[in-house]
């Protein structure tokens, strides 16, 4: 499924793979337009008369809500379908659900699904002119999360080229990490570190130009940006980790560990966070934390993506 | 019904005795009655010009899964040049009882195309808990037993199953995947999956299972055929076992010689069991075919209905429709690996016959006329309409391939 048309414009946002630095900068500049000088979100008519349908096959609060707010700020009609309790539960196929929603005049689908590749599949089913935003598919990608993280990093650090960014946690099962690595590489970040035990790192990941650390202290030493990932409880049952306690002991971001990073290092987390597991409250709520700022920027970034995908249609 | 036929001027390929000769084939009453010169009084109402064509023994497939319409798949087999098909026990119905075998056999007889050689289940219901009635399965016509891709976690049970199969003098066809990895892992844990994030299977899942079975061989006396190798390290392990004189053989599924993990880029292609692996793995598999470590090629034919594919990649059932594409792949191997026609066709005729202990695989006087007429040059478009199989699940869809099966005969009767 090709997400870029022959004029180089985005038809869908399914992955950050193949998007140039110029394009990412363009999206970030567009994002700037939706934040006023008092750091408040603007209200525009960009999506007037458009219908945005949020189809979430997996539970979500933050992502779904921020997409909803973003669409409303752009004056779109927004519907959120909680598919977990709807038609698919009665046996309807994903394809039929999408085709039916499309028949209700949807212009833009925002989709989350538990299967890697689901967004590509949905984009294949919709008719030309209807756009699909991947709001997270399995362990594949979560492009808008990575874009809002880029935006946050740029907001604080201005330049990407000399940064050391450490991503800590369950990289193997993280769609955020996959998008994040692509985005950081595209922006020219030279030092991308992945910090996790081997059980949470995908096979052959070092071939993609990142450095892996099994030791948290070494991994965050001198870092400019630390991105913590959520640890899902079911990882224990799968034999990937012995216990939450041991995970926190080895990989939890404590105030003491944070001192190993640069003094002006920032801490990010895509949420929802598990305090006391991957991150301590004192860090999450501390001065270096950008976690709530990320959520705020997330709305503006999603506004930019929606405008980009519906422009001229 | 024509019971006397002459095939004129074809290049007769006999992999069993490494011969390639231009000659005529005279068929009467389902048997080859003469080669080269006609027997006395031989008159045939039908003469077929095989100039520029190869005439080869009918192909034998070591692994076909039948689901749904048997008629369409046996027709696909005939169109692919096959006269004998080993049917995997994970077919529908599951082949773990005499009655299932009889039901399959009677359906096959009604279609009257390729001959079917059922592979019985190694354990009841393929559940990996209790041995199947292997002696009864053998009496009902099973040529081998297998667990297909269903796990046996308990090594002691696997040990017993191998012992019991050996007592029944049944070949065990083993698809090597560690039991813990047999759940929905249809892509290779390699570079390509870094950008996909699909549940993936590393090479060690295959290698450790081969090692487990090889470790059991000396004390069980079983004959084991490892089916559908996918990795370089698997080929190494088989070469090593053969060098030690163990009773093992191996095959590779067709598509693993052509495609690699890159097929899945952007979630394209099809879920595969075992997964398509790296370029280096494919190179080692091809080398294994050349040096004989890998004895044979199987189709691993698994047709899927179109509806089953209307789901995201990770929900699609694994397998490819393959019977009709075996000959084009052999033509490619002939060209790219510099293999003779004898060597290529050996992989789907004499070699599987040897593995299965079949005597019937040569084009010689007195043998049943199970043969196929092949054009190595004609090109054709692979599309939904040109495939007879109900399964259109093939990465060749939309491609032009070289190598066409022109006709297939079973016992002297034209089935395609």
Residues of B in contact with A118 (CB under 8 A): 312
Could you give all domains of chain A from N- to C-terminal order, each with its CATH number? 21-142+295-310 (3.40.50.1370), 143-293 (3.40.50.1370)
Specify the CATH number for B4-53+367-414; select among 2.20.25.10, 1.10.260.40, 2.30.40.10, 3.30.390.30: 2.30.40.10
Q: Specify the pLDDT at position A53.
A: 95
The nearest alpha carbon in chain A to B181 belongs to A238
Q: Please answer yes or no on whether B311 and A120 come within 8 Å at the CB atom.
A: no
More confident residue, A154 or A94: A154
Q: Please answer yes or no on whether B267 and A116 come within 8 Å at the CB atom.
A: yes
Rounded CA separation B392/B320 (Å) = 8
List residues of chain A with CB under 8 Å from any CB of chain B: 1-2, 15, 17, 93-95, 113, 115-118, 120-121, 137-141, 173, 175, 178, 182, 202-205, 207-208
Residues of B in contact with A204 (CB under 8 A): 189-191, 194
Q: Tell me the nearest-neighbour CA distance from B55 into chain A, angstroms.
A: 43
Q: Specify the pLDDT at position B1.
A: 47
Q: Specify the pLDDT at position A72.
A: 97
Q: What's B199's DSSP letter?
A: -
Q: Stretch A121-141: mean pLDDT, rounded?
A: 95
DSSP assignment of B272-340: -SSPP--HHHHHHHHHHHHHTSS-EEE--B----GGGGSS-GGGSPP-B--GGGHHHHHHHHHHHS---
More confident residue, B157 or A62: B157
Q: What is the ipTM of this complex?
A: 0.84
Task: Say yes or no: B263 contacts chain A, CB-CB below 8 A.
Answer: no
Q: Please answer yes or no on whether B314 and A17 come within 8 Å at the CB atom.
A: no
> Residue A89's pLDDT band (boundaries 50, 70, 90)?
low
Weakest mean pLDDT among A76-90, A186-200, A295-309, B134-148: A76-90
Q: Tell me the nearest-neighbour CA distance from B208 into chain A, angstroms.
A: 17
**What are the structure tokens assigned to B330, written together?**
């052999």
Rounded CA separation A2/A120 (Å) = 9
Q: Please answer yes or no on whether A138 and B314 come within 8 Å at the CB atom.
A: yes
Q: Specify the pLDDT at position A84.
A: 65
More confident residue, B307 or A132: A132
Q: Please answer yes or no on whether A115 and B195 come within 8 Å at the CB atom.
A: no
Residues of chain B with pLDDT under 50: 1
Q: Please answer yes or no on whether A140 and B197 come within 8 Å at the CB atom.
A: yes
Cis peptide before B93 (omega within 30 of 0): yes
Q: Stretch A302-306: mean pLDDT, rounded?
A: 98
For the domain covering B58-356, report its CATH number: 3.20.20.140
Residues of B in contact with A173 (CB under 8 A): 197
Q: Stretch A264-285: mean pLDDT, rounded?
A: 96
Q: Specify the pLDDT at position A60.
A: 85
Tokens 């080229």 belong to A161
Residues of B in contact with A138 (CB under 8 A): 197-198, 314
Residues of A in contact with B195 (CB under 8 A): 15, 17, 178, 182
Could you tell me the residue ranges of all domains in chain B? 4-53+367-414, 58-356
Residues of A in contact with B314 (CB under 8 A): 115-117, 138
**Each residue of A224-263: pLDDT tens digit?**
999 999 998 777 778 899 999 999 999 999 999 999 999 9
**Each residue of A143-176: pLDDT tens digit?**
999 999 999 999 999 999 999 999 999 999 999 9
Q: Please answer yes or no on whether A202 and B193 come within 8 Å at the CB atom.
A: yes
Q: Tell me the nearest-neighbour CA distance from A282 into chain B, angstroms.
A: 33
Residues of A in contact with B310 (CB under 8 A): 93, 95
What global pTM score does this model have?
Answer: 0.91
- Residues A37 and A90 sit within 8 Å (Cβ to Cβ): no
Q: Exposure pattern of B383-404 as b/e (b: 16+ CB <10 Å)?
A: eeeebbbbbbbbbbeeeebebb
Residue (of A177, A163, A226) closest to A205 by Cα position:
A177
Question: Number of helices (H) and strands (E), helices first, in chain A?
Answer: 11, 9
């Amino acid at each position: 499924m090709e997400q870029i048309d022959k004029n180089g414009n985005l038809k869908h946002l399914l992955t950050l793979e193949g998007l140039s630095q110029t394009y990412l900068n363009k999206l970030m500049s567009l994002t700037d337009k939706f934040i006023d000088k008092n750091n408040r979100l603007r209200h525009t008519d960009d999506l007037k008369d458009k219908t945005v349908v949020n189809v979430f096959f997996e539970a979500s609060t933050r992502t779904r809500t921020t997409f909803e707010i973003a669409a409303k700020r752009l004056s779109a009609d927004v519907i959120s379908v909680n598919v977990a309790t709807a038609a698919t539960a009665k046996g309807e196929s994903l394809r039929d659900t999408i085709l039916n929603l499309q028949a209700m005049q949807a212009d833009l689908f925002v989709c989350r699904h538990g299967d890697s590749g689901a967004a590509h599949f949905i984009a294949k089913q919709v008719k030309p002119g209807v756009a699909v935003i991947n709001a997270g598919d399995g362990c594949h990608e979560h492009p808008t999360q990575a874009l809002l993280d880029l935006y946050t990093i740029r907001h604080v650090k201005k330049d990407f080229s000399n940064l050391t960014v450490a991503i800590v946690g369950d990289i193997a099962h993280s769609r955020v990490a996959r998008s994040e690595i692509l985005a950081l590489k595209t922006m020219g970040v030279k030092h991308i570190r992945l910090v996790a035990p081997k059980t949470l790192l995908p096979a052959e990941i070092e071939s993609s130009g990142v450095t892996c650390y099994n030791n948290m202290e070494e991994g965050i030493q001198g870092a400019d940006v630390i991105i913590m990932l959520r640890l899902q409880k079911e990882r224990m049952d799968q034999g990937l980790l012995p216990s939450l306690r041991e995970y926190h002991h080895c990989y939890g971001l404590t105030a003491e560990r944070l001192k190993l990073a640069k003094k002006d290092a920032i801490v990010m987390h895509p949420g929802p966070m598990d305090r006391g597991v991957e991150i301590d409250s004192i860090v999450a709520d501390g001065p270096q934390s950008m976690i709530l700022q990320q959520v705020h920027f997330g709305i503006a970034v999603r506004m930019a993506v929606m405008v980009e995908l519906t422009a001229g249609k | 019904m024509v019971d006397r036929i002459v095939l004129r001027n074809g290049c007769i390929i006999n992999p069993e005795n490494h011969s390639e000769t231009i000659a005529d084939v005279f068929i009467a009453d389902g048997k080859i009655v003469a080669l080269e010169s006609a027997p006395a009084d031989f008159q045939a109402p039908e003469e077929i010009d095989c100039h520029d064509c190869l005439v080869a023994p009918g192909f034998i497939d070591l692994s076909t899964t039948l689901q749904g319409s048997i008629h369409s798949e046996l027709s696909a087999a005939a169109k692919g040049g096959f006269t004998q098909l080993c049917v995997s026990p994970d077919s529908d119905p599951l082949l773990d009882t005499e009655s299932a075998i009889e039901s399959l056999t009677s359906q096959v007889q009604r279609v009257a195309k390729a001959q079917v050689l059922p592979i019985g289940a190694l354990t009841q219901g393929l559940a990996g808990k209790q041995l199947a009635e292997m002696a009864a399965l053998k009496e009902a016509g099973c040529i081998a037993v297998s667990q297909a891709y269903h796990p046996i976690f308990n090594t002691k049970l696997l040990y017993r199953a191998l012992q019991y199969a050996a007592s029944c003098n049944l070949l065990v066809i083993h698809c090597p995947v560690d039991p813990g990895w047999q759940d929905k892992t249809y892509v290779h844990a390699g570079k390509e999956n870094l950008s996909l994030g699909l549940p993936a299977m590393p090479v060690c899942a295959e290698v450790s299972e081969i090692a487990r079975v090889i470790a059991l061989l000396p004390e069980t006396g079983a004959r084991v055929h490892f089916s559908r190798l996918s990795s370089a390290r698997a080929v190494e392990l088989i070469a090593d076992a053969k060098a030690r004189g163990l009773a093992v053989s191996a095959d590779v599924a067709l598509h693993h010689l052509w495609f690699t993990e890159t097929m899945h880029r952007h979630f394209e292609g099809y879920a595969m069991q075992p997964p398509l692996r790296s370029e280096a793995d494919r190179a080692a598999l091809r080398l294994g075919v050349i040096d004989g470590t890998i004895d044979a090629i199987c189709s691993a034919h698994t047709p899927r209905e179109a509806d089953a594919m209307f789901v995201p990649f990770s929900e699609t059932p694994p397998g490819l429709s393959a019977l009709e594409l075996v000959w084009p792949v052999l033509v490619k191997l002939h060209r790219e690996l510099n293999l003779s026609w004898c060597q290529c066709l050996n992989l789907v005729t004499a070699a599987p016959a040897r593995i299965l202990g079949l005597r019937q695989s040569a084009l010689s006087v007195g043998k049943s006329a199970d043969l196929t007429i092949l054009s190595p040059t004609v090109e054709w478009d692979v599309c939904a309409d040109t495939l007879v199989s109900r399964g259109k699940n093939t990465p060749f869809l939309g491609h032009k391939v070289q190598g066409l099966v022109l006709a297939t005969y079973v016992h002297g009767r034209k089935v395609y």
